[in-house]
Amino acid sequence: MNNVSDKTQVFVAGHLGMAGSAVVRHLERDSLVDIITRGRDELDLANQAQVQKFFAETQVDQIYIAAAKVGGIHANNTYPAEFIFENMMIEANIIHAAFLNNIKKILFLGSSCIYPKLAPQPMAEEALLTGALEPTNEPYAIAKIAGIKLCESYNRQYGLSHGIDYRSVMPTNLFGPGDNYHPEDSHVIPALIQRFHEAKVNNATEVAVWGSGLPRREFLYVDDMAAACIHVMNLDSASHSKITSPMLSHLNVGYGDDLSIKELAELLARTIGFKGIITLDPSKPDGAPRKLLDSGKVRSTGWKPMVSIEKGLQLAYADFLNSESGINPQDAT
């Protein structure tokens, strides 16, 4: 591959998704970066031959793997085969083809669901593989664990000989611009935004929330996650090695506090302006009782979230309204 630019050539896999588009927004601020993207109609990341051909023909210096099949409890329960197969194929194809084409730097985005259902709270990186996973999203979690171990295994075997440096971050539950508002396949915040908004517009007196309302969740505004990803990617090797080890290399990226689903629903109702009653449906699955990350390692390197949950929900609702009206949302940071 011939150098076509003095700028760093950065491929963002999954640039149209919520996480990937946030990474692109932040990279666009760097005049020394050229961003490379491909839509699914141009590059099927689950197709090994297409991925290999792309990297053989394209100069790439860094890769952010934000491409994934994602969804909430309903989607994970309904399509387990698709969640494990597609996610494993995407990450395996990209990481192996990157190695074959001498690409030195990768940042893989995982998920906090990699941790055991009953892991001690807050969950430290060391909790990985210490217990059974939450059954409702086990296939997705296993695929993400495989992504971490792919990065680690290539580092262990080829790090010294080939100079590769593949890193992983595990974000907590994300929300913000570009979220998925599908009524069945969305995560809890976009699902509740849509539900409360429709209730407000239709003057409904009641909104039902899935589950008991007791599980606690941590949420991070997606642009804070993107800033963390770029921070970790560009962290010098000595600083990164100081807080990781060869077989425990992933870093948690969280907000640092959590709230119950009931508290989240009440906060969203106020944000959206719904004045009715919130009811709980305990016949629906709760998922894990609590998911709070210990993000002390990445915070020790200088990153911290900048957007409060309250402000983030306001920005998320504004993005929802823009998407409903067909207006392109502005960068929300």
Pick the catalytic residue from 64, 140, 154, 255.
140
Give me the percent of the chain exceeding a pLDDT of 70: 94
Phi and psi angles of residue 126, each rounded to the nearest 5 degrees, phi first: -65, -10
Quickly count: other Cβ atoms within 10 Å of residue 153's Cβ.
15
pLDDT at 4: 55
Q: Give CA–CA dist 101/11, Å, rounded.
A: 13
Domain coordinates of the chain in residue numbers? 8-325
Contacts of 195-200 with C-beta under 8 Å, sequence gap 24+, read 196/265, 196/268, 196/269, 196/272, 196/274, 197/272, 197/274, 197/317, 197/320, 197/321, 199/274, 199/276, 200/272, 200/273, 200/274, 200/275
pLDDT at 286: 84
Flag the least confident range among 44-53, 85-94, 323-332: 323-332
Which superfamily does CATH assign the domain made up of 8-325 to?
Answer: NAD(P)-binding Rossmann-like Domain (3.40.50.720)
Q: Give CA–CA dist 19/275, Å, rounded.
A: 32
64 is catalytic: no
Compute the average pLDDT of residues 123-128.
98
Please determine, for residue 222, whether its predicted confidence score (pLDDT) is greater than 90. yes
Are 303 and 231 a contacting pair, CB within 8 Å?
yes
Task: Determine the distance from the C-alpha atom of residue 321 to the mean position of all C-alpha atoms in its chain, rounded to a whole number.
Answer: 22
pLDDT at 1: 44
Our CA dihedral for 52, 57, 32, 295, rounded to 10 degrees, sits at 0
pLDDT at 183: 64
Secondary structure of 261-312 in HEC code, one letter for each residue = HHHHHHHHHHHHCCCCEEEEECCCCCCCCEECECCHHHHCCCCCCCCCHHHH
Please determine, for residue 193, whether its predicted confidence score (pLDDT) is greater than 70. yes
Q: Is the dihedral of CA 31, 241, 243, 14 positive or negative?
A: positive
Q: pTM (2 decimals)?
A: 0.91
Compute the average pLDDT of residues 203-207.
96
β-strand pairing of 259-260 with 216-217: antiparallel
pLDDT at 250: 98
pLDDT at 124: 98
Please determine, for residue 121, whether its predicted confidence score (pLDDT) is greater than 70. yes
Q: What is the mean pLDDT of the chain?
A: 93
Quickly count: other Cβ atoms within 10 Å of residue 161's Cβ.
7
Compute the average pLDDT of residues 254-280.
97
Please determine, for residue 99, whether its predicted confidence score (pLDDT) is greater than 60. yes
Q: How far, CA to CA in Å, does 246 sit from each of 59, 167, 198, 202?
A: 28, 10, 49, 55
Task: Determine the distance from the C-alpha atom of residue 61 to the mean position of all C-alpha atoms in its chain, rounded to a whole number.
Answer: 22
Q: Is the dihedral of CA 117, 121, 123, 124 positive or negative?
A: negative
pLDDT at 323: 86
Please determine, for residue 63, whether its predicted confidence score (pLDDT) is greater than 90. yes
**Band (177; pLDDT cuts 50, 70, 90):** very high
**Band (325; pLDDT cuts 50, 70, 90):** low
Please determine, for residue 98, whether its predicted confidence score (pLDDT) is greater than 70. yes
Residues in the chain: 333
pLDDT at 75: 76
What does DSSP assign to residue 218? Answer: -
Task: Determine the distance from the C-alpha atom of residue 45 to the mean position of all C-alpha atoms in its chain, rounded to a whole number.
Answer: 17
pLDDT at 327: 42
